[in-house]
Chains A and B, each alone.
Chain A
Amino acid sequence: MLWTCLLLPSLPLEVFARAQAPADAAQPFAVTTGGRTPRVVAANAAAAAAGVHAGQPVSATLALAPGIALRERDPNAQAAALAAVAAWAMQFTPTVSLAPPDAVLAEIAGSLRLFGGRSRLAAHVIRGTRDLGYTAAMAFAPTPTAALLFARAGAIGVGRDEPPSPRQAPRAAAAPGADPGFAAALAPLPLAHLDLDLDAAALAMLEAAGITTFGQALALPRDALARRVGAKFVAALDRAQGLAADPRPPFVPPPRYEGRLELPAAVDSVEALAFAVNRLVFELAGWLLGRGLGVGAMSLTLAHERQVAIRAGTPETRVRFALAAPAREPAHLIAVLRERLARVALPAPVVAIALASEETAPLAGRNLGLLPGDAAAAAVPLLDRLRARLGEAAVIRVLPHAEHRPERAWTGGGGQDFSPALARAAGAAGSAPSDPALPPRPLWLLAEPEPLGPVVEARPWVLKDGPERIESGWWDGADVRRDYFVAENPRGETLWIYRDHRRGIDDGEWFLHGVFA
């Protein structure tokens, strides 16, 4: 067993600050407790440089940094953010557990080999959390409690760095407490980080006796310690050392991704949203990867300022986007959303954004190419780029449709039914009657039949094939009664023309309906 603790020390601040583009980080920003005498909970680097620190009254903060942006702490947003990080972390291991208020625990022994060792995995995770907008610290230990302690104490913890070799005979799993390195690493940890539901009085009593570290507490007689500070404390020491079982409730990822991000300031241009959208897309991608899914359709909701929204009559702007095929590459999703957002006109400034997965489908991992030329798959498929910018109705597939009236013998799959599988099935069905007796059909069909007028009679056209009588549709009001001919006009163009017989035979008008291109 190897547990890692992903600690997010600046979570109260970063719940808000992650929506901020790096350029805006120079603006002093702090999170406060709220209430009657608010105090600072956390401050960003710019605010800290101005002298703002945690615990300071807000009045003093405002005196130090008059332009500072303040937000009240939002425990609900913190809990949601922690759950989102846990769901994102499921891409590394299936065993993830929450350690509120600010940490996520994960068992990663089985993932080391896949990710190329502990340090690479750690670098991967830290880089990923930075993409999400968090600063994270990681620690490793054989037990979850110890991992949490190491992380809180700012230590890296213990554990081998190299990936276990499969050829090595599996060692007999020693009890973690038996590892002398682990005991030595545990000894200097301060007891104050043992965040259990210990009463403060017990810790204060130990501190008064000069016992502040783990090693000092372990050196005391066990029974006496239990009598003085309670059996709970001793049990906690045992769990940290791995002498007692330390079950952790497994984190269950939500069945549907819904991420919401409050913006630090109202945004009135779509371009400025891009940064915040990226944060949510990375979360979505981690959630998808953890569950082995690809997203087929997603929706982005832009919440507007309340007063302005009421005046404009729109509480929020909702953008739905369907992809041509399920995908989960962040670069792909970001590019698609950016193109789609560029077409959105904002009725009012945006104060929060929410991204949700609307449709998902299982998506297997993709093999990477072995040779340089193998990875031919584009970062973003052409189809998605075209449809995101031009709209779903502008990019279509044409498919045959079983119908005698020529103008109805095709369908344009533009909207929902735009799937390659469907197109392939319909294409196969359409090409099946490739019977030589099939009358000729033109490659271009005119959107509307064009009246030819007297031009046909004036200069002789050569009728090469026909007539082909098409008479159908009396039941739906769009009935046709036409004789089609393949004709060559005097300029050498081969056209598909018909004589309309709805009002009688052999006196109808001539129409041009297709071009044999």
Chain B
Amino acid sequence: MNPALAAALANPAIWRGGDCAPEPAAMPSGYPALDAVLPGHGWPGSTLTEIVLTREGIGEIRLVLPALARLQAAGRDVVWIAPPHLPYAPALSAAGLDLARLIVVRCRTAADQLWAYEQALRAPECGAAFAWLDLADDRALRRIAVAAREGGTWGVLWRRPGRHATAAAAPLRLALAPQDGKLSVRVLKRRGGDLAQPVLIDVDAPTAALPDPRTCAGWNAPTEPFPHAFGGAARRA
């Protein structure tokens, strides 16, 4: 390409059809292969993300743990609403989460879950709000997407296996599936850009490409900046 043209195209005001829409508040996921297909090269900091699981127990939570640990190190809370099973404290703690900044909400009715999710998304102290909801209502989903955008919170709506959503209001949708012992991430929907091929990720090996949170993300950084899921250390050792 003509260097002058390339320089002109580097202007951030110019958006090209093949690019992803700019995502100002993106945070690195800890997996460069995943960052490459996400808009803004990271998890969107203030967008509702819908993750569709074809199976459970394939490393789906390990995939998001590095980003959660970073948010917690920056002093923000993480809220999990109606998780499918019990979040197991010894494993979460060993994986580097700050349990003092993890709030688990277990409520019965769908209305309460939805209310709690919207409150969490709108709360400024909450950095990430995950919910495992059977949400079929298109309007409720849009409401939640707006709450995530206005609250500046990374919302993840998990779709458990066999409960596919009909509505797809979330601006970013991913599908996770196991493949050859790794996790295959397929982008179902993202803002701008054509859909990429599925990427294969080894969730037990997040790379150290992240900037050190102790220098950029706040004061109470954990002693171990890049938590790895259990087993990962043993395998490397």
Contacts and interface: CB of A to CB of B under 8 A. Distances in A.
Interface residues of A, number: 53
A442 B230 CA distance: 8
B93 interface: yes
B106 interface: yes
User: Which among B100, B104, B112 has the highest number of chain A CB atoms within 10 Å?
Assistant: B100
Contact of A382 (B93, B94, B96, B123): B123
Contacts of A382: 77, 79, 103, 119-120, 123, 125-126
B19 interface: no
Interface in B170-214: 177-179
A394 B125 contact: no
A400 B105 contact: no
Interface in A381-422: 381-383, 385-386, 389-390, 394-401, 406, 409-412, 420
Contacts of B77: 382
A251 interface: no
A313 B60 CA distance: 53
Contacts of A204: none
B71 to A, nearest CB: 14
Given A443-B62, A514-B88, A397 B99 contact: yes
Contacts, number: 169
A369 to B, nearest CB: 13
A517 B59 contact: yes
Give the dominant DSSP class at A's interface. mixed
A389 B106 CA distance: 12
Nearest to B79: A382
B17 interface: no
Interface in B80-95: 83-95
A448 to B, nearest CB: 10
Interface stretch (A28-36, A94-102, A144-152, A428-436): A428-436
A491 B60 CA distance: 15
Contacts of B57: 442, 444, 493-495, 515-517
Nearest to A409: B90
B99 A398 contact: yes
Contacts of B231: 440, 465, 486
B124 interface: yes
B51 to A, nearest CB: 12
A420 B99 CA distance: 9
Interface in B94-140: 94-96, 98-100, 102-107, 112, 115-116, 119-120, 123-126
A391 to B, nearest CB: 8
A328 B189 CA distance: 46
Nearest to A411: B89
A331 interface: no
Give the dominant DSSP class at B's interface. mixed
Contacts of B83: 444
Contact of A400 (B79, B89, B224, B237): B89
A34 B234 CA distance: 84
B88 A398 contact: yes
B163 interface: no
A394 B107 contact: yes
Contacts of A411: 89
Given A395-B103, A515-B85, A430 B233 contact: no
Given A376-B124, A400-B89, A383 B94 contact: no
B119 to A, nearest CB: 6
Contact of B124 (A378, A427, A431, A493): A378
Interface of B: 55-62, 77, 79, 83-96, 98-100, 102-107, 112, 115-116, 119-120, 123-126, 177-179, 224, 229-231, 233-234, 237
Given A396-B103, A427-B98, A517-B57, 18 more contacts: A382-B119, A386-B119, A389-B112, A395-B103, A395-B106, A397-B102, A398-B86, A400-B93, A406-B88, A409-B88, A427-B100, A443-B91, A444-B86, A492-B177, A493-B57, A494-B57, A514-B88, A516-B62
